[in-house]
């Protein structure tokens, strides 16, 4: 069976744009397309639990095949925080700028800047659950660089690159990013399903 379209359970327009640019073998339907505007629960204590909770919520609500992701930034010197709490690291009403400032402040001049981004994608397909993971290792910069990307992209530089994620094009970032790697696994699985 070839999948023709699938719901991506996100209200984040940046994530949707990134995913749509990475997948052209089938149509990605966003929550806005389905007129779903309520906040999707995200109460898990791991990336895997959160991703599955969001995908199941939309699958149960619509009956449509659905996937969702959850992503965390894990910083070695901060005991792998913010991790699953990356989106709200600076508090419940924070934004990406607040989160980045908190990370930079907590790290200060710490020489160990090692970090990794991890994405877990949960897919609910015909009622069955599947998971795909992507990890990219890198370091936290001492200050923001670049205007692109979103979230922590301006302060994260992947190993082997001179640019932060925020300095890369979407296509370049998709090739090497945590989400890009997880999406490639998802695409391969769906192509063979």
pLDDT at 2 over 80: no
Phi and psi, residue 52, nearest 5°? -65, -40
Query: Residue 115 is part of which domain span?
Result: 5-192
25 compared with 187, residue with greater pLDDT: 187
CATH code of the domain containing 135: 3.90.950.10
Interval 24-42 mean pLDDT: 88
- Catalytic residue numbers, as ranges: 70
| pLDDT reported for residue 138 | 98
For 141, other C-beta atoms within 10 Å of its C-beta total 19
Tally of structural domains, the chain: 1
What's the pTM? 0.90
Distance CA 107, CA 52 (A): 31
- Three-state secondary structure call for residue 170: helix
83 compared with 22, residue with greater pLDDT: 83
1 compared with 144, residue with greater pLDDT: 144
Give the pLDDT confidence of 95-148 residue by residue, as tens digits. Answer: 999 999 999 999 999 999 999 999 999 999 999 999 999 999 999 999 999 999
């Amino acid at each position: 069976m070839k999948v023709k379209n699938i719901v991506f359970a996100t209200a984040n327009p940046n994530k949707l744009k990134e995913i749509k640019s990475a997948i052209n073998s089938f149509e990605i339907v966003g929550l806005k397309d389905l007129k779903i505007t309520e906040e999707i629960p995200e109460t898990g204590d791991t990336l895997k639990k959160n991703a599955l909770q969001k995908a199941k919520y939309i699958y149960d609500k619509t009956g449509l095949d659905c996937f969702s992701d959850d992503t965390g930034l894990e910083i070695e010197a901060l005991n792998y925080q913010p991790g699953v709490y990356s989106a709200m690291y600076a508090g419940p009403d924070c934004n990406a700028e607040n989160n980045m400032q908190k990370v930079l402040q907590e790290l200060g001049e710490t020489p160990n800047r090692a970090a990794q981004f991890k994405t877990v994608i949960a897919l609910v397909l015909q009622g069955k659950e599947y998971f795909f993971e992507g990890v990219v290792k890198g370091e936290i910069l001492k200050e923001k660089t670049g205007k692109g990307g979103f979230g922590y992209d301006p302060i994260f530089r992947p190993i082997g690159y001179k640019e932060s994620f925020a300095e890369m094009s979407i296509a370049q970032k998709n090739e090497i990013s945590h989400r890009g790697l997880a999406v490639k696994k998802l695409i391969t699985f769906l192509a063979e399903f």
